[in-house]
């Protein structure tokens, strides 16, 4: 970045340097910048509920607070650099809007449950059958079943996510592509990473984890994340272990449950790793 856009000797802190790069890029190419930030919440999740501390200017403070201050300074740049930005897209597991990360940021638009964007991070049934006809047929031949039977098995294993009242079925793209690549209907999702932050929350929870599934919740109970260990439901939902299964228009509530067999099995493995026993025998998955 410094080689391409130059350096501002007066910019000594991260926010000023980032703002300078955005301005230089805009001026050089004559087009406003697009900023994409993936896993924006990782610095906070890595230290969430760990009690880790650091020292700043001779004063001891929680590492989570230090990370939050750094992120707050970074994201405040977007407000100052508004003239140089076309749009900013942030993705992550959790919403930290309640912990002042974005207090210096222009009002962000949360598209988590916006029907216009519900398929932005997945594959729909129509897309599967239109663009993956070859891999579906190949996997069916490998498994010794018909194309129709394979579509049903793929749906049972990797489909089932819903992100709005419209209830459009969304496939997990990672697991689906792994199944095609490996020629196997395996459980790939849990192997993408050990959710240590979720394990820490669940280890503190006194709530029967098996009682979370199949119930109806108001959106504020699972959409708006607040960094507390007493209520793990928002983290479980936003981590992808639970998804919307039904919508009750009369009461404005959503039923949450496992998206599919792959995730249900992964959740059972997660609970087993925690040595937390459900209060009742889990359903067969």
pLDDT in tens, the chain (285 residues): 556 666 777 777 777 888 899 999 999 999 999 999 998 888 887 887 788 999 988 999 999 889 888 888 888 888 889 999 999 998 887 766 555 677 666 667 888 889 999 999 899 999 999 999 999 999 999 999 999 999 999 999 999 999 999 999 999 999 999 999 999 999 988 766 666 677 777 777 666 666 788 999 998 888 765 555 567 788 788 888 899 999 999 999 999 999 999 999 888 777 776 654 444 444 444
Backbone angles phi, psi at 253, to 5 degrees: -115, 160
Give residue 85's pLDDT: 95
Give residue 270's pLDDT: 73
At which of 146, 162, 186 does a domain end? 186
**Are 157 and 76 in a shared domain?**
no
> Residues 142, 143, 149, CA angle at the centre, nearest 5°?
120
Q: Is residue 133 part of a domain?
A: yes
Q: Is residue 92 part of a domain?
A: yes
0.75 exceeded by pTM: yes
Give residue 281's pLDDT: 47
Give residue 159's pLDDT: 97
**Cα separation, 257 vs 213, whole angstroms:** 5
Give residue 274's pLDDT: 63
At which of 105, 133, 156 does a domain end? 105
**Are 182 and 199 in a shared domain?**
no
**Are 77 and 146 in a shared domain?**
no
**Are 246 and 170 in a shared domain?**
no
Q: Which helix (H) or strand (E) holds 137?
A: helix 133-143
Helix, strand and coil in the chain, % to nearest 5: 45, 15, 40
What single string gives the DSSP state of each residue in 84-135?
A: GEEEEEE--SS--GGGTTTTTS--PPP-TT-GGGTTTTSEEHHHHHHHSHHH
Give residue 71's pLDDT: 86
Q: Is residue 90 part of a domain?
A: yes
Q: Into how many domains does the chain fold?
A: 3
**Are 199 and 267 in a shared domain?**
yes
**Are 233 and 258 in a shared domain?**
yes
Q: Is residue 285 part of a domain?
A: no
Q: Is residue 281 part of a domain?
A: no
Domain with 238, as residue range(s), is 193-274
Q: Is residue 260 within 8 Å of residue 185, measured between CB atoms?
A: no
Q: Is residue 282 part of a domain?
A: no
Q: Which helix (H) or strand (E) holds 244?
A: strand 243-248
Q: Is residue 16 within 8 Å of residue 167, measured between CB atoms?
A: no
For residue 226, give the nearest of 79, 5, 48, 31 by alpha carbon. 48
**Are 11 and 96 in a shared domain?**
yes
């Amino acid at each position: 970045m410094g080689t391409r856009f130059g350096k501002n000797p007066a910019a000594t802190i991260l926010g000023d340097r980032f703002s300078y790069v955005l301005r230089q890029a805009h001026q050089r190419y004559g087009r406003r910048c697009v900023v994409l930030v993936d896993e924006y919440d990782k610095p906070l999740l890595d230290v969430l509920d760990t009690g880790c501390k650091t020292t700043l200017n001779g004063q001891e403070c929680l590492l989570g607070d230090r990370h939050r201050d750094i992120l707050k300074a970074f994201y405040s740049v977007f407000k100052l650099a508004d003239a140089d930005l076309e749009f900013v897209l942030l993705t992550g597991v959790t919403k930290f809007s309640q912990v002042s990360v974005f207090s210096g940021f222009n009002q962000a638009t949360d598209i988590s449950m916006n029907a216009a964007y519900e398929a932005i991070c997945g594959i729909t049934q129509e897309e599967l059958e239109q663009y993956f006809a070859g891999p579906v047929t190949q996997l069916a031949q490998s498994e010794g079943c018909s194309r129709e039977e394979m579509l049903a098995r793929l749906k049972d294993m990797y489909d089932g996510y819903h992100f709005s009242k419209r209830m459009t079925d969304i496939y997990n793209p990672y697991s689906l592509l792994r199944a095609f690549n490996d020629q196997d209907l395996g459980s790939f999702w849990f192997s993408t990473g050990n959710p240590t932050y979720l394990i820490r929350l669940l280890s503190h929870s006194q709530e029967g984890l098996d009682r979370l599934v199949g119930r109806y919740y108001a959106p504020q109970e699972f959409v708006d994340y607040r960094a507390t260990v007493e209520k793990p439901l928002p983290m479980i939902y936003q981590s992808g272990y639970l998804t919307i299964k039904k919508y009750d228009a009369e009461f404005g509530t959503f039923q949450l449950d496992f998206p599919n067999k792959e995730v249900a099995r992964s959740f059972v493995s997660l609970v087993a790793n925690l040595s937390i026993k459900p209060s009742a025998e889990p359903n067969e998955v």
